[in-house]
Amino acid sequence: MRKPRDFDADLKALEDKARGLKARKVRQLGELVIATGADALSADELVGALIVLAETKEAGKMEAWAKRGAAFFQSRARRNAPTTDRNTDGTPAQPGGAQPASSRKGAT
């Protein structure tokens, strides 16, 4: 005969996993803020910028931001990767790496 399933233990394990994933997400968001240099902004400035980003529905702007973000990650990967693993997909990155939008005057 089969052993009955312990739903309480399964639920606790899922809750623990969800808690761990949420903590990982928060840590990674903090790492992104630091890596982009956005930690130099005040909390109010950062929240305001994120609200504008979240409210934007213009596909052109969102696509441009996505390209810039991809270039940022590719430039970081190239700096951290051995020379044999650099940019194997053929996608060019921005020269000198992507700069955070907060470092440019008038950037939106």
What are the residue ranges spanned by the domains of the chain? 8-55, 58-100
Burial class (CB in 10 A: 0-12, 13-18, 19+), 82: exposed
Cβ atoms of 70 and 89 within 8 Å: the answer is: no
Residue with tokens 């990674």: 28
Cα–Cα dist 107/14, whole Å: 42
pLDDT digits (tens, 9 = 90+) for 29-67: 999 999 999 999 999 999 999 999 999 999 999 999 999
Mean pLDDT of 98-104: 44
Torsion angle, alpha carbons of 65, 66, 68, 70, to 10:
160
Cα–Cα dist 72/96, whole Å: 10
Give the pLDDT band of residue 79 (cuts 50, 70, 90): confident
pLDDT at residue 104 tops 70: no
Amino acid 90: pLDDT: 47
Amino acid 78: pLDDT: 73
